[in-house]
Amino acid sequence: MTYEINQDIQEIIRRIGRDNINFKDKTILVTGGAGFLGSWMCDVLVTQGANCICVDNLSSGRYENISHLKGKSNFKFINHDIATPIYFGESSNPNALSVPEIEKIDIVMHLASRASPFEFKIYPIQILKSNTLGTWIALGIAKIHNALFFFTSTSEVYGNPPPEKIPTPETYYGNVNPIGPRGCYDEAKRAGEAYVKAYELQHEIKTKIVRIFNTSGPRIRHGFEYGRVVPNFINQALNDEDITVFGDGSQTRSFTYVVDEIEGFLKIVGKENTLGEVINLGNDKQFTILELAEIIIELTGSNSKITFKPLPKDDPLRRSPDLTKAKRLLNWEPTTSLRQGLTKTIAWFKSNGK
């Protein structure tokens, strides 16, 4: 199978089109737009005729994800760290990057953050800053422009929920270790959500928050060092290397294909009834990590063997979203099966380097 990303972009546009969601002529800032999810967002927005401004410091993102958009009149890339000031329009702050030619922003989508467990060890300060200072700066842009603000939070705000909180509803407050190895990410996202709510309360900014559950697909960053389970297993399988499962592999995860997730993001952003809401988006069908490894071995036709390593500290044992709210407000649910999503992702890996 060869993989054509444009078909998936068109599929997202078709799906949101059923709800008349169209961002044509809106000016939209996407922080983290050169990353996995951000670049899909930029692709849909540019295709729909929005003016898309991508701010990214290329820390975990790749310029190749957006290089095909270069030269389009409705796309602009700015290489910048969102944890440091940036102004759209005239700025009197000499320490801020000023982008005077963009005078009005309608929507700010804040996605910028390193997000893989491997990076938690190496860049914990940058991760904290992207989600706290970066969220604060992005909210400031929304405030100045009276723009809608969309924040990409994470299922990790729930930490390690007790069995009775699986699937996890948005009303669950979380069980998070602030000083553990995942604290920099989990607590930064929790603080990011608190910033969003503070701006909504104090400055009457229109806000929406999505809590994303494990999502993968073409363009997800790969390489074993990156530390996300789906790209790691695919890489190992394509190279006939041992597939390393942490623990005994009985821990579960739910896996969402990028098309379903981006459709959900754009429905949250585009619909009126989601104002001020925080919404889980993911797949509620759980698979054990061992099942995932076996399916990937089968789909790649790999000779890899499965090996086991100790479970990392504070790794959540079960993860599954309660999607009641997403179904009610968005009329959304994931429709791509794990096998369908993996088949496309594997095809993309094969043609874009293992």
Q: Give contact residues for ligand NAD (rule: CB under 6 A).
A: 31-32, 34-38, 55-61, 81-83, 111-115, 130, 134, 152, 154, 212, 214-215, 221
When the beta carbons of 81 and 200 are compared against ligand NAD, the nearer one is 81
Residue 78, strand partner residues: 55
CA pair distance 204, 301, nearest whole angstrom = 54
Could you identify the residue written with the tokens 């499965």? 306
Nearest-approach distance from CB 142 to ligand NAD, in angstroms: 16
Sequence-distant (6+) residues with CB within 8 A of 30 are: 38, 41, 42, 45, 52, 53, 54, 55, 109, 111
Cβ(247)–Cβ(313) below 8 Å = no
Whether 172 sits among the annotated catalytic residues: the reply is no
DSSP state letter for 264: H
Compute the distance between CA of residue 126 and CA of residue 118 in angstroms, rounded to an integer.
Answer: 13
Cβ closer to ligand NAD: 65 or 74? 65
CA separation, residue 228 to residues 4, 110, 114, 233, 319 (Å):
23, 21, 12, 9, 15
CB of 305 to ligand NAD, least distance (A): 27
Given the complex with ligand NAD, which of 3 and 77 has the nearer CB atom? 77
- By residue count, the chain amounts to 354
- What lies within 8 Å, CB to CB, of 248 at 6+ separation is 290, 308
Closest distance of CB 121 from ligand NAD, Å: 15
Question: In the complex, what is the shortest distance from the CB of residue 261 to ligand NAD, in angstroms, rounded to a whole number?
Answer: 8
In the block, tokens 């930064």 appear at: 188
The token pair at 179 is 């000083």
By beta-carbon proximity to ligand NAD, the closer residue of 115 and 141 is 115
Nearer to ligand NAD, 22 or 97 (CB): 97
Question: Which of 123, 172, 185, 199 is labelled catalytic?
Answer: 185
CA 262: distance to chain centroid? 9
- Shortest approach of ligand NAD to residue 301 CB, angstroms? 26
Residues assigned a catalytic role? 185
